[in-house]
Amino acid sequence: MTLSYLHVDQVDFSYSHSDWQLEHVSLNLSPGKLVGIIGPNGAGKSTLLKISAGLIQPSKGTVSLHGTLINQFSRKVIAKSLAYLPQQVNSNYEYTVEEIVSMGRFAHLKGACFLEKSDLMIVQDCLEQTQTTDLRHRYLNELSGGQKQRVLLASVLAQTPKVLLLDEPTTGLDMYHQSIFFNLLKSLQNNDIAIGIVTHDLNLAAIYCDELVLLDQGKVIIQNKTDQVICPEVLEPIYQDKIIFSQYPSSNKFVVLPAITENN
């Protein structure tokens, strides 16, 4: 059995003034694995990711990073091995791409956080890895959605994390940029990084993820290998008759399409 880098064990969570709650949810992220967290709107995907990143505290259950409870670490120590990319990143301030990526080194720096030579090399590497070197002098706010997401990925990669948590990083991107982004994530798997990604797109999850966690109404329905999750028996009870299944051209994998109802 592979040692998991991040282990979320039976967590419960609820927001104040709301009946909705996350119940007994568990998640394992192991090195070299890309795990997708899928489910309909309001299933609790982003909440689970925030709990996993230690951003919010569960009311019950535990989150362990490399075998130690995450709440025993300071945020800086967590950031040295766990990187989290939120759904939306906006700023009124004009930072260049290079500045944004270099901010990822924060947890590794002391004092006023000026970069050493080794940090500059890591920043350079991350820019190259995400194909954003040419953009390095441009401002984040000037970039297209796809470019911006790659830059933000470079920024969290500069943390040199062992666990990477991404919250819907390809929302709003066209297919070309979605494909670039996920292929980039696949290339990171060789570095023994454990990746957890929240996505609405069942097809991207079906094609790129090794394992999937399916959530619905705050509960885990199934956590298994992708082909065991993207199948009619599992998804139809959740998405009902709103989806139909087809075959991916070059493999036996299922892909999911929106169903055309009679009204259409």
Partner 1 sequence: MRSLPTKRHCLLSCTKYLIVTLLVLCITPWIGSEKLDAEQVLSDLTHSAEYHIDTKILIDQRLPRTILAFLVGASLALTGSVFQVILRNPLATPYTLGVTGGGTVGAYLAITFSSLSFRLGPLTSTQCFALLGSSLTLFFIYSLAKRKTTTSIFTLLLTGVTIGIFCSAIILLLSYFASPNKLVAMNRWTMGGVDVIGYGELSALLPLLIPGLVLLFMQTPSLNHIALGQEMAMGHGVDVHTLQRNVFIAGGLTTAAVVSLAGPIGFVGLIIPHIVRQLSGFDHRIILPSTFLLGGAFLVVCDTIARTILAPTEMPVGIITAVTGSPFFIHLLLKNKQANY
The footprint of partner 1 (CB under 8 A) covers 50, 53, 55, 57, 74-76, 78-80, 83-86, 88-96, 98-100, 102-104, 106-107, 109, 111-115, 120, 123, 137, 139, 141-142, 152, 155-156, 159
Least gap, CB of 83 to partner 1 (angstroms): 6
CA 36 to each of CA 64, 69, 165, 222: distance values in angstroms, whole numbers, following the listed order:
19, 23, 10, 12
Q: For partner 1, which is the closer residue by CB, 74 or 261?
A: 74
Least gap, CB of 49 to partner 1 (angstroms): 10
Q: For partner 1, which is the closer residue by CB, 101 or 214?
A: 101
**Cα angle 236-242-247, degrees, rounded to a multiple of 5:** 65
Q: For partner 1, which is the closer residue by CB, 54 or 218?
A: 54
The 3-state secondary structure of 87-151, one letter per residue: CCCCCCCCCEHHHHHHHCCHHHCCCCCCCCHHHHHHHHHHHHHCCCHHHCCCEHHHCCHHHHHHH
Q: For partner 1, which is the closer residue by CB, 147 or 155?
A: 155
CA dihedral angle for residue 172, residue 176, residue 180, residue 181, rounded to 10 degrees? 10
- Distance between CA 185 and CA 183 in Å, rounded? 5
- Distance between CA 214 and CA 152 in Å, rounded? 26
Least gap, CB of 57 to partner 1 (angstroms): 7
Least gap, CB of 56 to partner 1 (angstroms): 9
Q: For partner 1, which is the closer residue by CB, 34 or 164?
A: 164
- 8 Å CB contact between 166 and 29: no
What type of residue is 118? S
Q: For partner 1, which is the closer residue by CB, 90 or 261?
A: 90
Q: For partner 1, which is the closer residue by CB, 31 or 86?
A: 86
- 8 Å CB contact between 10 and 63: no
Least gap, CB of 212 to partner 1 (angstroms): 23
Least gap, CB of 135 to partner 1 (angstroms): 12
- 8 Å CB contact between 52 and 165: yes
Buried/exposed 168-195: b ≥16 CB within 10 Å, e otherwise: bbbeebeeebbebbbebbeebbeeebbb
Least gap, CB of 69 to partner 1 (angstroms): 16
